[in-house]
Structure 1
Amino acid sequence: MNGKMKRTVLPMVVVVLVSGCATGIGGWLSPSQSVAVSEVRRGLHCGTDTDETRLTLLDSADAAQRWADQRGAQLSGEDRLAPTGRFVMVEMGARPSGGYGLAVSAAARQRGNQLMLQATFFTPTPDTLATQAQTQPCVLVRLPESPVQGVRLYDQSGTLRAAADRAHDSD
């Protein structure tokens, strides 16, 4: 390939690669905006049947209450949830003892209809005195008013821990 051809082809290749990244998988170069979320309830015994981190999208306060009732989850926090609004239940997963927990940051990012949450996961140190009973930590998070079709949860090291997408509906 001669010098003139290299100068012509190389910029075209770069443009194609960059445009493919911007419109392709995940649209990671598309702009995102800061949005606020809030933890409204939390618990240590949430009836989780797996050790995997899990997200459940809930369309209303009634749906959140039904989720808790079906699981026998013991949640504390806001006594009465506003009847409107959407939520996500973040489950850390079943753990062999106390000392485990998670905290979801109020600062989230939204790109299109995808919400990215950041959480800090806590694990007991070997010298921590903790109950030897199994725990299943969970946090109920109020979502922003903007449309959310999917939620991604990242831990403090930036690792994707869980994802959930709602079925497409008419809203």
Structure 2
Amino acid sequence: MLNPIDVDTVVRDGGAHGRFPGQIHAGVAWWMAACFVVTVRARRLVVAHDGKPASVEFFDRLCQGAVNAQHYACQVLDRGQADEVALLAAMRQAGDAPGILVTTKETGGDTVQISIALYGRGGKPLDEPGGLAAIRRMIAEDRVPVPVNETSKGRVQPFTTASGEDTSSDQCG
């Protein structure tokens, strides 16, 4: 694994959390998203960030991980800058799709605290039995999923009212 992390320290409390730079790096966002899509079998995922520069950097990598998750061809609905309330509303509108929120907290100096919060269907933070333990294990064992072939890749598109409506065939479950 290139640029390993301490998974027990970083992958916890419903997602990945750590000091950047230091404990966490943008590649972790890719890993978390790819593993999350596979773990919850998501065909559709709503993602958002808080607009801070570090969040945007992690968010971009997160989107790439979500579309490159094995054979799921996940439709990643980019909600853009939003808080948790707006993300949860978008998830409901997208037919109870799972979601991910990237946030940054200023800590002073040259570091920030990054959080990648994972939400399962129903808007509940992902817990250990719901998939967080499986994601931690996949990352620790360097079994991060990659697409089988180019046609298995998903796509990122802006979240709109229209993109959130018909979800009956978009989720695996």
Q: Report the structure, 1 or 2, having the larger strand content.
A: 1
Q: Same fold (TM over 0.5)?
A: no
TM-score band, normalised by the shorter chain?
under 0.3
Please give the TM-score of this superposition, normalised by the length of structure 2. 0.25
- Which structure has more relative contact order (CA 8 Å, sep 6+)? It is 2
- Between structure 1 and structure 2, the one with the greater Rg is 1
Q: Report the structure, 1 or 2, having the larger helix content.
A: 2
